Every structure is written in C-alpha cells, then in structure tokens.
Structure 1
Amino acid sequence: MRQLLFIARKEIKVALREKLVVSLGIVTLLLLGVALYAGYVSYQQQKEIITETQAEKRKEWLNQGDKHPHIAAHYGTFIFKPKTVLSLFDFGLDAYTGTSVYLEAHYQHGFMFRPAQDHTSMIRFGELSAALVLQVLAPLLIIFLAFGAFTRERESGTLKLLMSQGISFRLLTWGKIVAYSIMLAIVLLPIVVGIFILSFSGIRQEVIPDIAFRAVLLVLIYGVYLFLFISFSVWISLRSATGRNALLTLLTGWMFFAVLMPKTVTNFSESLYSLPSMREFKARIQEDKVNGLDGKTPRSVRRARLEKEYLEKYQVDSVEQLPFNFEGVSMQAGEEHGNKVYDHHLHKLREIFHQQNRLRSIASLFNPFLAVQHLSMALSGTDMYTFIHFEKAVEHYRRELVRKMNGDMAENSRYGEFYGYKAQRDLWQEIDDFAYQTPTAAELLQLYHLEILSLLMWTALVFVLLNYSNRKMKPLHG
C-alpha cells in the first residue's frame, strides 16, 4: 500500500508539471460550471413560467362561467410538462418532446413548443450540459492526462529504474490509475457537490420521488464510466511503444465511441425503423374514427347499435323515454371509440420508437458511451420512457375530464335540449388539478438492463486486460 501511494504521489507531481494537462483540467471544470449554472438558470425560469401558467389555466377553467358540459369539454385546458431538478444536469430529450399540450374532447393534440425547433441542425450534436461535458470532454482530459503513463517512463528510462527496485508492473499500473482517479475526482468534486446541493434544494417541489437515490446513482455511473477511460488509457499506454502511438490510438477510440458510432447507430435505427409523418399519422386516425378500425362500421352504424342496445336494456320504444340523456351516452361512446382508435395507432408508433431505442441499447453493449447516455437521461427524468409515462398520465387526465362532462350531461340534461342545460362552477371544481410524478429509478432501470450489463461487462474487461497484460509483461533489464 505504501508503494502504491508513493507511485500515485509521484504521478500527480509529474502531471501537475504538464501545463497542457492543468489547462485542460481548468477548462473542463469551467465548462462544467458554466453548463451546470446555465442549466440551473434555465430550470428556474422554465419552472416559474410553467407554475404560473398552469395556475393561470386552472383559474380559467374554474372561472369559465356557466355552460353546457360538452362545450366545457371542448373549452378544455392546458397541461404543462413539469421540469425535473436533475434535468438541469442532463437535458436529455426535453428539447424534442415539447412543453405543453391542449386537452379537449374528441382530439388528442400533440405537444407544442419544442425548443429544438428553434435551433439549427447542430443541436443533433447535443446542447452544452454538464452531462455532455462529462460524457464527451472529460474523457479527452483523461486521454491527455494518461496517454504517457508508461510511454513516458520508457522514453525517459525511468521504467527500468523502477523495475530494478522491485516494483511490479501490476503495482505500477494501479498506482497510476489511482493517481489519475484522484486528480479527476478533485477536478469534478465541486460539480458533484453542486449537483447534490441543487438537487436537494428543490426536493419539496420535485416531481421525482427518489431524487437522492438518483443523484447517488448518477455519481456512481459516471464514476464507473470515467474509471473505464482512465483504465483503458493506462492500458493503451502500457501496450504502446511510444507516446505518439498511444495518443493517436486513444484519440481514434474517443472519436469512434463518442462521436461516430452514436450518430451511425441513430441514423441506422431511423432508417431501419422509419416513422410515419405527422400528417400521415393523423390522417390514419381520422379515417379509422370515421369508418371504424375494420373500415366497415361508420359512426351511423355504431350509433344505431348503441341505441338498440339501450332501448332493449330499458324496455322502451325511443331514446326520449330513457331515464337519462342518451346524447351524453352517445357522445361518451364516440369518445371511447376515438380513444380506442388513437391507442391503436399510438401503440404502433411507440413500438417503432421502442425498436429504435432497443437497437441503441444493443449497441450500448459495444459502447459504454451509449450506456451512460441512456442511464443518465433515465435518472435525470429526461428519457423517452419517462416522457411516455407523462404522456399516458396526461391522456388519462383528459379522458377522465371528458368522461365527467359527458356523464353530467347524461344525468342532468334532457334529450334534444342541448343548449337548455348549463353546468356551473361546482362541476368544474370536481376536476382536480393535474399532478404528476415520474416513475421511480428502480422502475426505470428495469428498462435499461442492457445498459447496466454493458457497464459491468466493460468493467470486467478492463480488469481482465490489465491483469493479463501485467502478467505477460517481461522484466526489463539494463
């Protein structure tokens, strides 16, 4: 242990003499600080706007005045996607999924105000966030820090001197890994502390139920990810003849894993599992709403069947004799048919997204960058599955609102007198304000088992490579 610490201390002293390494460390720290601060400012601004606007829309719903319940269902309201505290760390898909949606009867509107629409195509390379800095730029710092771990010793002749003193390759390797890990931890410590402080500062208003657990997991996952880069950099240096070869190999690997492969996998998945256009998607829904999913049961046929069913059930001759307003029942039946059609097409659309995401998950087995990217978004509440969970909650709220309006119409109005009945504020108050909580981290991580397996496999591979290489390295003699 004493020899290990001696080697680590020596490596830290050598690294601190390298002006390039120190400069890169400062730049990385500044970028992390700027990204985290910018994310926090954006989070606070959007949270305030969403909170104020949601309260305003709630007030408009309650104060809409006396009107027919079905008209109120079309008057509708807006729902805004709440910002999670951890989204200030990893923006994820927030720029693409939209921030608000309008709810009304008969229609499932798409989410509006996607920030990505206001950006150039460069946004495909990602926004500057703390997660992006750790995923892409921090490995560059590690490469320039560790590429000369062994090549520098060989070229200066100090490696033979160390071996002559009885220091093994294994001890030397782990001493260097410990040294680089300590230096990186010192650089990243202020950011880690900042993330915990910012996360816990908004815990009372947070939509994430287990934010502390998620923050710890984020630190653990990024710790493993950066440890992999440190270990591989040291291993490449151990196996390289010169520092130039080691640096070129590591930079090529970084370019492939962090830039080329993710874009290639994304483009390939989009080509293999192509999405329909929005126009085509809506046209198919509208067609099936009119003619039925089988294409043979138009609205008139469905209404006739429903009318016959209720007349036989209540043993009456006309809908006017029913003990409720049949129009309300008919409208709700039409609403449920529309929901069935929408669910059918949305399921097919989501299945394409799942297939695309599954392909990226499989690719993450060969690329730890993809694994960390997916897990980071999931734990920050900005991934695809969290958005789908929110989308389902919003649609459930819309359906309950419309069902309540149609139910009141059926119970309290008379057939054929659509404008004769007007509901009041008491009915509007029966619709609770929308509230949302994300799935727990444990629930989400079950969907990312391939990404977790990837990190475990790469960690095991690192230990195998280091152990094998250290055993196979031949002793050096003067």
Structure 2
Amino acid sequence: MKFFHIEILIAQHLKKSVFQNKAVFIITLFIGVLLLYAAFSGWENYSGQNETSEKYQHESRKDWLNNPDKNPHRMAHYGNFAFRKSTSLSVFEFGMEPFFGNAIFLEAHKQNTANFSEAGFSNSMLRFGEISIAMVLQVLLPLLIFFLGFNSVAAERENGTLKLLLSQGINWKQLLTGKILGVASVLMLLFVPTIVVLVFIWLLLQGFTISPDETLKMFLFVLFHFVYLLFFCTIAVLVSAASATSKKALISLIGIWLVCTIILPRTTQAMGAYLYKAPSKIQFNSDIEKDILKQGDSHNPNDLHYKAIKDSLLSAHKVDSVQQLPFNYSGFIMTEGEKISSRIYNKHLEELLKMYEKQNRFSKAVSFINPYIAMKNLSMGLSNTDYDSYIDFQKQAEAYRYNMAQKMNGLQVKYISNKKPGPTGKPLTIDKGHWADIAEFHYEPKGIRAVLKNEISAVISLILWIILLFFLLRIAAKNLKAI
C-alpha cells in the first residue's frame, strides 16, 4: 500500500504543478475544441454520405425495376449502381475514405472502379488531411503529452529537488511510475470525456441497437488508443529522466514526435511505392483489353474463337444454322464472353493487388519501429476505412455485377428466340417482372475476425512496444542518476 501511496502522491503533485501553467489550460482547451469539431464534422460527413448513398441506391433500384419489357442483354448493358455505406466507427476515423469512391457503375463486359470520392469534389485543403477524432488522438494528444511530460523529471534535476526526493527513500521506479501516472491523469481529463461522447454518438448512430461484432470493434478501438497514449506518456517521462535539462528533453521529444507522426509515415509511403511500382490505370486497362482481344470478341460474329464455338454447337445439335438451335445462340455467346472477360480481369486485378500488398507489407513492417503507423493501420481497419475495405467493396460489387450479367444472359438463352423479327415485327423482349430476380446490392463490411487477421502485425507491434517500454522502465530505474 505504501508503494501505491507514494506513486499517487507523486502523480498528484505533477498534476497540480502542470495546471499552474496557464499555457496548459489554453492548449488543453484548444484540443478539446478540436475534438468537439472533429466529432461534429465526423457526424456530418457520416450522415451526409450515408443519406446520399441510401437515396441513390434506392433510386438506382427503382429505375432498374421500372424498366419496361426489354431484351435481357440490353438490361445487362443498362446496368446498375453499387453504393458503399460508411460504418459507425468511420465517424471517428476517416482513414482513406475521402480519397476512395463510394459508388460503382455495374454493367456487362466491363469492370468499373469506384467513383465520386470526396477528394474528387473538394479543394486542395483535403491533401493536408481532415480533422477527425482519430487524428487528434493519434497526432495531437501525443504532442500534448510530450509538452506535459518533458520537464517531469528534468525540472526536478535542474532545481536540485531530485536529489532530495531520492534521499528521502523514494526509488527511481516509484518516481518514474508516479510521473507517468501524473501525465496520464492529466491526459485522462481529455481522453475520458472524448470516449464518453464517442460511445454516445456511436450508440445514437445505430439507434442504440448494437451487434457483438461492432461492439468488439468499438471496445478495441478505445482500448488500443488508450494503450497507444499510455505509451507516449512513458516515453515522455523516460526521455525527461534521461535528459540533463528540460530544454534538451523538449527538443528530443519534439524530434521523436516529428519522426513518428510526419516524417516516417510519408517516407514509408514514398519508399513502398518506389520499391514496388504498380502500373498506371491506363496501362492496367490496356493490358486487360489486349488479353481479351487475344481470346476473342464476343460481339464479332466472324471472330475465330467464337466461330469455333458456333461450329461445335451446330455439329453437336446436328443443325445447319444458329436459328435452329434450341436456345438463344447470342445469349450463350455472351455468357461465354462474360466468363472470359471476368477471368482475365480478375487475373490482372490479383496481380495488381499483389503489388499493392507488397507496398502495404513494407508499411506494416515499419510499424515495428513506429507505433503511430501501427495505431493508424489498426484504427482504419476497425473503422473499415482502410485500403483492404475498399478492395473488399470492389470485390463484392464485381461479384454482384458478374451475377447480374450472367442472369441476364441466362434469361436471353432461355426466353429469346434465335429468329430475328422483321422490319415491322415486335422487338424480342421478355416480361419486366424478371428484373426483380436480381436482388438489390448491399455492401457487407468486414467482420472483426477479418480485420484482426489483416492487422495482426499492428496488434503485435503495439504489444511489443509495451513490452519494450516495460523493460526500458526497469533498466532506467536501475541505471539513472540524480545528477
């Protein structure tokens, strides 16, 4: 009990001395205002994007169902839209969402990418990053922690009170732990209210009906941010204890903050893109088009590949022309063409994703020397605003597109005659009731298991950093000197 009593007294003394400085009040108030603004802007962004997505997804579905009797292949080219709704945690972590599109036009024989990103409609200020709660927690609060803790031990050494404390029976372990708790107690004055507001907004957005998966994501989001901030509290005190003066401690801590939150993340991205160069969008599409043309053009009746299919069908059914086949020949060819084009696209996409995965793997490896990158990756993963969530949306939309196109081709094969109508004949169509056979698109965010599996390196990194700091604390307690 005496051990804890001493630590608490040291923590209380630090907390009291911190608030004797008016600058602390101003900085704390400023960050508090930023947190409120971040919560408001996150709420506004989430509500606006999801309302827009719901509105246009509904309109797209309505337009699809209201199409008149039509040829199924024309319906496949008429297409549909897939919209991605934001998850509730994206209110606090914008991640890459402003730069990735949230809508994809789905049509036969063509794979489109997501469009209508917020960055596409914003001014150049977006490149500096938006103010989110996650950004304040991950970037600004560590800077505040360093400002609070840079003189926690160094000032005692400069004033000559450090010798006095140690001579009264207080050991280094008690002193360092008490100082860490003191800095953390000041930080909690911002962190706890932020989490209370965060949880309330999160519950409100879901109508106070929550799923176990979302609850676990929220719990881990809060837990890992707490651990992350506690890490910086420990760093601040250890650097202060190892520095001869407060000035040296402050310079060292600012340097650490700049490297961790600004220099290293941007350098890592640049190096990853340089080491593992990905093809441009034009080159990617051009390579796909070349491979498809090598396989054959399903819309060209004289194409050698599809002419061979035609000859084999006529031979198998012992008929002289496609008009005599018991099914629609064009629909059959379109089905085959869709299979080929989708297979080629998926092959090229997997190769591209492997290159991006190498870039991301490089960034994840750097997280073992930079806890900020680990926390950022984990935060984006839990809020489904990371790169992998965007790719997951693309894949879900592509699966929906392929199913839509093939169902339309199947309807054409089954219901459309091979005999073309005359100049005054009625166009070959089917009843519009078939359009309802295609279910409405709904994006399903990644579950907690998939997120943790993908971000396992970030989790391990944060755990290793905490273990490392624990050992550094023990080593410092044994080797630090009062002078």
Rounded to whole Å, the distance in 2 between the matches of 1:389 and 1:299 is 38
Unaligned runs of 5+ in 2: none
Give the CA deviation at 1:203.
2.7
Instruction: Give the superposition deviation at 1:18.
Output: 1.5
Pairing 1:153–2:156 present: yes
**Higher alpha-carbon deviation: 447-456 or 250-259:** 447-456
Amino acid at match of 1:352: M
Residues 180 and 42 of structure 1: CA distance in aligned 2, closer, same or farther (over 3 Å): same
State the SS of the aligned residue for 1:210: helix
Alpha carbons of structure 1 residues 376 and 208: separation in structure 2 relative to 1, 3 Å: farther
Shift in Å at residue 161 of structure 1? 2.1
1:398-446 deviations in whole A, cap 9, x for unaligned?
1111111110110011114277321223111111111121111121111
Aligned position for 2:200: 197
TM-aligned CA distance change 1:349 to 1:299, over 3 Å: farther
User: What's the TM-score once normalised by structure 2's chain length?
Assistant: 0.93
Q: 161-170 vs 117-126, which deviates more?
A: 117-126
Please list, as runs of the form range in 1=range in 2, the aligned pairs for 1:179-190 lying within 5 A after superposition: 179-190=182-193
Instruction: Please name the residue that 1:328 is paired with.
Output: 331
TM-score, length of structure 1 as denominator length: 0.94
Deviation at 1:452, TM superposition (A): 1.4
1:249 aligns with 2:256: no
Match of 1:217 among 215, 220, 230: 220
How far is the alpha carbon of 1:313 from its aligned partner?
Answer: 4.2
Conservation of the 8 A alpha-carbon contact between 2:203 and 2:209? no
Question: What is the aligned length?
Answer: 473
Once residues 179 and 299 of structure 1 are traced to their aligned partners in structure 2, the CA distance between those partners, rounded to angstroms, is 80
Partner residue of 2:363 out of 356, 360, 379: 360
**What are the equivalent positions in structure 2 for 1:390-405 lying under 5 Å apart?**
390-405=393-408
Residues 299/48 of structure 1: CA separation in 2 closer, same or farther (3 Å cut) = farther
SS in 2 for 1:108: coil
Structure 2: how far apart are the matches of 1:204 and 1:285?
A: 45
Aligned counterpart for 1:441 among listed residues 440, 448, 455: 448
Aligned-residue CA RMSD (Å):
2.1
Q: CA deviation at 1:316?
A: 4.1
User: Contact 1:82–1:207 (CA<8 Å) still a contact in 2?
Assistant: no
The CA distance in 1 between the partners of 2:339 and 2:208, in whole Å, is: 34
CA–CA separation in structure 2 for the residues paired with 1:265 and 1:205: 40
Equivalent residue, structure 2, for 1:4: 7
1:21-60 map, 5 Å: 21-60=24-63
Secondary structure in 2 matching 1:17: coil
Tell me the residue number matched to 1:269: 272
Partner of 2:385 in structure 1?
A: 382
**Residue 126 (structure 1) aligned with residue 133 (structure 2):** no
* Greater alpha carbon shift after TM alignment, 432-441 vs 123-132: 123-132
Which whole-Å CA distance do the structure 2 matches of 1:233 and 1:198 have between them? 32
Name the counterpart of 1:65.
Answer: 68
SS in structure 1 at match of 2:427: coil
Q: Are 1:171 and 2:178 an aligned pair?
A: no
Q: Choose the corresponding residue for 1:142, options 137, 141, 145.
A: 145
Q: For 1:437 and 1:98, locate their aligned partners in 2 and report how far apart those are by CA, in whole Å.
A: 16
The one-letter code sitting in structure 1 at the alignment partner of 2:434 is L
The offset of 1:90, in angstroms, is 0.8
In structure 2, which of residues 467, 470, 477 is the aligned counterpart of residue 463 of structure 1? 470
1:290-309 matched pairs, under 5 angstroms: 290-292=293-295, 300-309=303-312
For residues 319-376 of structure 1, the C-alpha deviation after alignment (integer angstroms, 9 at most, x for no partner) is: 3332211111111111111101111211122112111111100111110010001000
The whole-number CA distance in structure 2 between the counterparts of 1:439 and 1:42 is 21
Query: Unpaired segments of 5 or more residues in structure 1?
Result: none
Of residues 100, 107, 115, the one that matches 2:103 is: 100
Deviation larger for 24-33 or 466-475: 466-475
For residues 290 and 392 of structure 1, the distance between their equivalents in structure 2, rounded to whole angstroms, comes to 24
Could you report, residue by residue, the CA deviation over 1:140-189 in whole angstroms, capped at 9, with x for unpaired residues?
10011000110111122222221122111100110111121122112111
2:281 to 272, 278, 282: 278
The letter for the 2-side match of 1:284 is D
> Separation in 2 of the partners of 1:195 and 1:13?
28
CA contact (8 A) 1:85 1:206 kept: no
* C-alpha displacement of 1:390: 1.1
1:44 Cα deviation from its structure 2 partner: 0.8
Q: Which amino acid aligns with 1:469?
A: A
Question: Is the contact made by 2:113 and 2:394 (CA closer than 8 Å) also made in structure 1?
Answer: no
Is 1:291–1:298's contact at 8 Å kept on the other side of the alignment? no
Contact persistence 1:32–1:133 (CA under 8 A): yes
Distance 1:280 1:348 in 2: 13
The one-letter amino acid of 1:93's match is: M
Tell me how far 1:220 sits from its aligned partner: 1.0
Q: Which residue of 2 aligns with 1:162?
A: 165
User: Which residue pairs with 2:341 in the alignment?
Assistant: 338
- Structure 2 vs 1, CA of residues 287 and 207 (structure 1 numbering), >3 Å: closer, same or farther? farther
- Report what 1:414 is aligned to: 417
Deviations 1:201-230 (A, max 9, x none): 233699987211111101111111111111
Residues 32-61 of structure 1: per-residue CA shift (max 9 Å, x gap): 111111110111111111111111111111
| Partner Cα distance (1:406, 1:205) in 2 | 44
> CA–CA distance in 1 between the matches of 2:351 and 2:212?
30
Q: Is the 8 A contact 1:207 1:436 kept in 2?
A: no
**Does structure 2 conserve the Cα–Cα contact (< 8 Å) formed by 1:84 and 1:208?**
no
Q: 1:370 to 1:395 in 2, by over 3 A?
A: same
The code of the aligned residue for 1:285 comes to I
Counterpart-to-counterpart distance in 2, 1:463 and 1:333:
62
Q: 1:91 to 1:208 in 2, by over 3 A?
A: farther
Instruction: Give the 3 Å change call, closer, same or farther, for CA 171–102 of structure 1 in structure 2.
Output: same
2-structure distance, mates of 1:113, 1:170: 55
Q: 1:392 to 1:348 in 2, by over 3 A?
A: same
Query: Which range moved further: 8-17 or 234-243?
Result: 8-17
* Residue 431 in structure 1 maps to residue 438 in structure 2: yes
Query: What is the SS of the residue equivalent to 2:82?
Result: strand
Separation in 2, partners of 1:174, 1:163: 14
Please name the residue that 1:452 is paired with: 459
**3-state secondary structure, aligned to 1:128:** coil
Q: Residue 113 of structure 1: which of 116, 135, 139 is its match?
A: 116
Q: Distance in 2 between matches of 1:286 and 1:474?
A: 70
Q: CA deviation at 1:314?
A: 3.8
